[in-house]
Structure 1
Amino acid sequence: MGQLIKLQDYISRYEQDIYRYPIQFVRLKQQQWEKVKAAYLAGELEKHYGGTGYSEEDDELYISEKTGILSKMKNMFARNDRKDEQVEEQAGTAPENVNVFSLHIPARPESLDELKQTFLNQLLRFQMKWGSSTLYEKSFIDQGFILDEKLRFFLQRFPDTCLVLYKPIFLLKNAPVEAECILITPTEVWCLSFLEGEEDAAFEGSNERFWMKRHHIHPDKKVLNPMLSIKRMEQIVSGILSLYEVTLPVKKAILSRNGYIDYPLSPFDVQLLDKRHFPDWFKRMRSSQTPLKHQQLKAAQALLEYCQTTSSRRQEWNQETQETRHDESTT
């Protein structure tokens, strides 16, 4: 599944260390899948994964870097044993047997394929939490993103090596600019724009500000020319990557998975991936087995540097800071 490294203006752990977290996420996901599959084959799925289900607190049980940092904090502040235990409890340090993704399988799947789909659906919510929080801070996600079909499409149907920025907000000369979707693969960067409507809708392209959408049942309707946003997106991405001397090619594509695009005079550097051409492109993207590359991670880091972030400090760390100041003032 693709890795969500930036969602709108929410904070991202990938901003802190892009060279660590992509590899760590893949490892955690693979480890957890092997545990789920082994439990299924042993007939013990309900025993291990039939618990109370999902809660936000479950997601925060596991943040892998906490153990080491907490240990340093204990030495730094010279806490007594009782305080140490309280800090670990509040920060959510997880014992080894804690279910990392807090999965809940509601019923025994009839096949491994069904189990895998259930696993991916459960993992999606964790992934969004994973991609919008750090040890010290978190953002409050609009729950609409959980049901966002396009976001789910990128996160569940692309390889682990695809890094996704979904509706990121770039800060350029102190002016926020929202993009649509940027997909960073090991070999290229894709700027993607969706142009979709009813099944088999046809979009007539032109150089005008609006295109025409036609359908055999619904009335004709004007839609904003997607070339405008995708060209702006490509200019932003190419400009940032050139500043950091990233050599990955930047490509542009308009996606219409359930319809058709008719634009004979379309720019040569924009791919129109409609119902006729999308399946081949999608198959090629999914079949890629190229591992994560240095230039890919460098590109991700460069783009994240220019993204706007809105977040709040975790409550447990605010409380910890207050206690630390109080202890220092009484010594």
Structure 2
Amino acid sequence: MEALAQLIKLQDYVSRYEWNAFRYPSQFIRLKNENWNKLIALWEEREDLSEVKVNVETSEEHHPRWKIWKRKSKSVHDEENIEADLYDLPDTKEELKRYFLDKLLQIQLKWATSTVTDISFVDKQWVEDPEIRYFLQRFPDTYLFMYYPVFNIKKAPVDGEIILITPVGIEIISQIRAEKDATIIAQNQRTWIVKENDEERKMLSPQIALKRTEQIIKSILNHHEVQLPIQKTVLAKENPIHFLEEPYQTKLIGMHQYESWFRQRRNISSPLKSHQLKTAEILLKHCQTTSVKRPEWEEERDEFEFVSDEF
């Protein structure tokens, strides 16, 4: 299972990837694959497993649950356990994939908002943001996402756009969220037009935020003598974008260009690259982080096990 890109930075929240950008991406892929293989095996043998004898501690019937990514020792990350009730697993393999990805999404959000020692207070809007789900669940796990990171430039916070670090380069994405019936008209570098039912309103050109983010990334990477191709993209999945000429080094992806754009990114088959991880490490070091210390914490363990609990 390749789906589920990795969320390495969410706004200014503390991220586990900040600790070690070389370790966690490969660890996540390994754990994801191991646990998917175990879950699919359970699903295929569900009829036999349903006959597992369970302990009855009260007059009520208790069902066995299987925990994915359960740590061998109790730690502050016990909350990351994924529990799969044998009697509630989906009926089809496709539904099982969606079930598993939704559970992993919860862990990805935890990895992007907490570490063993620190935790950030997460705004509810991010937890419920459908675009986070879209980017993470539709792209390969070798894609590293920074979702609206806040960079620390000369001791001042500067908002960035969505940054996609792939094995072959960096893509900066500015999303346009407009009504489904609206048409986007690309004009000058300052203002664009959103047209709906013969009514027009102005919007700030997404090129402004794209160029700002590009300049930040180039400045940081140049300082560290790292060279990587950078592509700027305006993305409107549900709206057409009308333009006379595409801006320099910027792709305008409206609803008519979307499928081709999406397939190209899905079809990139490559393992994680060292230069990709190095780029992620450098950019993360220049991001702002707002967090507090956990009241109590223990040293993190790397080992996970797949266990069954009987209630």
TM-score range, shorter chain: 0.7 to 0.9
TM-score (norm 2): 0.83
| Equivalence for 1:172 | 153
Return the offset for 1:105. Answer: 7.2
| Paired AA for residue 294 in structure 2 | R
CA distance 1:200–1:12, change in 2 (3 Å): same
Alpha-carbon RMSD across the aligned residues, in angstroms, is 2.7
CA distance 1:104–1:168, change in 2 (3 Å): farther
Q: What is the CA–CA distance in structure 2 between the aligned matches of 1:93 and 1:152, rounded to whole Å?
A: 22
**Which of 16, 20, 35 is the equivalent residue of 2:19?**
16
- Assess if the C-alpha contact under 8 Å between 1:259 and 1:275 holds in 2: yes
Q: Deviations over 1:264-289 (max 9, x none)?
A: 13323100011111211111111211
Q: What is the CA–CA distance in structure 2 between the aligned matches of 1:297 and 1:136, rounded to whole Å?
A: 23
Name the one with the larger strand percent: 2
Give SS of 2:276's match: helix
Does residue 219 of structure 1 match 2:199?
yes
Does residue 32 of structure 1 match 2:13?
no
| Equivalence for 1:183 | 164
Larger relative contact order, structure 1 or 2 (CA cutoff 8 Å, min sep 6): 2
CA distance 1:141–1:52, change in 2 (3 Å): farther
Return the offset for 1:245. Answer: 1.8
Return the offset for 1:316. Answer: 1.3
**Which of 223, 244, 256 is the equivalent residue of 1:243?**
223
| Equivalence for 1:147 | 128
Return the offset for 1:149. Answer: 1.2
Query: Matched residue pairs, number?
Result: 284
Return the offset for 1:226. Answer: 0.7
**Which of 5, 12, 19 is the equivalent residue of 2:8?**
5
| Paired AA for residue 203 in structure 2 | V
In structure 1, the gaps of 5 or more residues are: 68-87, 319-331
User: Among the aligned pairs, what percent are the same residue?
Assistant: 39
In structure 2, the gaps of 5 or more residues are: 55-62, 299-311
- Assess if the C-alpha contact under 8 Å between 1:2 and 1:154 holds in 2: yes
| Equivalence for 1:79 | none
Give SS of 2:261's match: helix
Return the offset for 1:99. Answer: 8.5
Task: Write out aligned runs for 1:249-260 (5 A).
Answer: 249-260=229-240
| Paired AA for residue 234 in structure 2 | I
| Equivalence for 2:280 | 300
Name the one with the larger helix percent: 1
Return the offset for 1:200. Answer: 4.1
Q: What is the CA–CA distance in structure 1 between the aligned matches of 2:189 and 2:277, rounded to whole Å?
A: 37
